[in-house]
Amino acid sequence: MSTVLVGNLVNAPELKFTESGKEYAIFSIAVTKVKGEEKYTSFFECSAWGSLGKNLANLDKGTRILLSGEFNQRSYEDKDGNKRSSVEFKAFAGGPELTWASASVSKDA
């Protein structure tokens, strides 16, 4: 099931590469919901692979973005052997959110 998140980049996306050379970006976004007089902010760890990750890595901290993707949970062992789990949002599509900004789009070759 696809989910849409709209929020601000907490940090500039970091472009990384797998050992086989596949590119991906990791980043966090803050999503704020206003309910009456109160604001609630949630933070999400995100990843984007391939050209989406490469293109998102050009955006700056604070940029308001819109992402479409899904939440994935993974389990792992930490360095002390304790079982841990984390939830990450894997973006399949995204870009700048244009309600309060404008953007210039260029097509990759």
Q: Quick one: pLDDT at residue 109?
A: 58
Q: Quick one: pLDDT at residue 107?
A: 78
The tens place of each residue's pLDDT in the chain, 109 residues long, gives: 789 999 999 999 999 999 999 999 999 999 999 999 999 999 999 999 999 999 999 999 999 999 999 999 989 899 999 999 989 999 999 988 888 788 787 777 5
Number of domains forming the structure of the chain: 1
Rounded to two decimals, the pTM is 0.83
CATH code assigned at 7: 2.40.50.140
88-103 b/e with 16+ CB inside 10 Å = b? Answer: bbebeebbbbeeeeee
Query: 55: domain range?
Result: 3-96
Adjacent-strand bridge partners of 72: 88
Decide if 87 is inside a domain: yes
Decide if 108 is inside a domain: no
